[in-house]
Amino acid sequence: MAPGGRVPTEIQLRSGSQRASVRPAGATLRSYQSHGRELLDGFGRNGWSQDGRGQLLLPWPNRIRDGSYHFGGHHHQLPISEVARNNAIHGLVRWVTWEVEEAQPERARLSVELPSQPGYPFWMRFEAEYTLTTEGLQVTVGAHNLGGRAAPFGAGAHPYLRIAGHRVDDLLLRLPAGHRLTADSQGIPTAEVEVEGTEYDFRDGRRVGPLKLDTCFSDLPKDGWAVDLGVGPGFERVRVWADGAFPYVMVYSGDGIQAPGRRRAGLAVEPMTCVPDAFNSGRGLLVLGPGETFCGRWGVAHGG
C-alpha cells in the first residue's frame, strides 16, 4: 500500500537489467523491459489499457456470444462489453482496482474479490503474482471459489509483444500449434482445422507478412508451450510461454485497432485456459466447486 493506505498508481519491479510496471487497476502489466529494450507494446505512464493491453482476463478470456449462457440449469445474461459484435468480452475484473498484497523489488502480489452479481452469480477471489526471475518475467494467476456452488471459469492474459523498429509484418513467428479454430463474424469458433499446409502453420517459424490474425490455436504441447518472435538469425527475440494450465493461445495482429500508429505495431499472444465462448461450448471450460482453486503460470522472456 502507498502511504495513508492508498493503493499505489503503479508498482515498479527491478532485477538486474529487467524492469516491469504493474498497475493495480486490473492487475495490468503496462511495461516489461530487459537489457534496456521494451518487449511489450503496452502503454505510457499517463495512458490506459486500450485494446486489452497487458490485462488479465477473468473469469473468462475472449468472448461469450451475446453475453448469454446456461449453467447449473439456469440462464445467465452478462453485460455486453463488445458492442460491435454483441458479445461479453474478457471477463469482469479488467477495470477493477486490485489490492496490493505484497510489493518487493522483484515481486508483486495482488488480489481481488469478485462478488456474486447479475450474469455471474458466483463468489470468486483472484490472485496475480508478477516475479522477475533469472529467466525473465513470470506471472502466476490463481482463482479460488469462495461460494457455495460450482462456478464456470476460464483464465487468460493479453500481452502485446513488440520488437523495436519492426511492424508485425516483419516478425518471424514460431508457434507450436497443430490446429486452429475458424470463427464467425462474432469471433465465435465454428470448427477446428489442421494448420499443416496452410498460411497458419508457424510450427517451423516463418514471417507473419500481411496475414491477419485474430486466431485461437490449439493442439499445443500438453505440458506447456512457448511462442517466439524474432526478426532474423542473430537478431532480437522475445518469447511468451505458458504451462499446461493454458492449452490454447490466441494470436491477434491488431488489424482492428483504431488508435493512430498502433495498428499492427505489436502482436498479442494470449495464453488461455479455454476457447472463445467456452461458457456455451464447454471446450476447455473449468468448473470450480466450492473451495476449489486454479493456478497457472505464463511469462515473457528476452531471447537475446
Give the chain's length.
Answer: 304
- What 8-state DSSP symbol labels residue 4? G
Give residue-wise pLDDT tens across range 268-281.
999 999 999 999 99
Q: For residues 189 and 158, what is the distance between their CA atoms, to the nearest angstrom? A: 19
pTM of the model: 0.95
Quick one: pLDDT at residue 141? 98
Q: Is the pLDDT of residue 5 over 90?
A: no
Indicate the average pLDDT of the chain: 94
pLDDT in tens, 11-43: 999 999 999 999 999 999 999 999 999 999 999
Query: 31 with 12: CB under 8 angstroms?
Result: no
Residue 110 CB contacts under 8 Å (≥ 6 apart), including other chains:
22, 24, 27, 98, 99, 100, 101, 127, 128, 129
Distance CA 184, CA 14 (A): 43
Query: Is pLDDT of 304 > 60?
Result: no
Tens-place pLDDT, residues 118-177 = 999 999 999 999 999 999 999 999 999 999 999 999 999 999 999 988 999 999 999 999
Quick: pLDDT tens for 83-124: 999 999 999 999 999 999 999 999 999 999 999 999 999 999
Confidence bin at 262 (pLDDT 50/70/90): confident
CB 135 within 8 A of CB 301: yes
Q: Given pLDDT bands bounded at 50, 70 and 90, which one contains residue 1?
A: low
pLDDT score of 3: 45
CATH number of the structural domain spanning residue 180: 2.70.98.10
- The pLDDT of residue 4 is above 60: no
Boundaries of domain holding 288: 3-302
The C-alpha torsion from 213 through 216 and 220 to 224, rounded to 10°, is: 100
Q: What's the pLDDT at 164?
A: 87
Of 139 and 47, the structure prediction assigns the larger pLDDT to 139
Side-chain-facing half-sphere of 138: CA atoms under 13 Å: 13
Distance CA 131, CA 120 (A): 30
How many structural domains is the chain composed of?
1
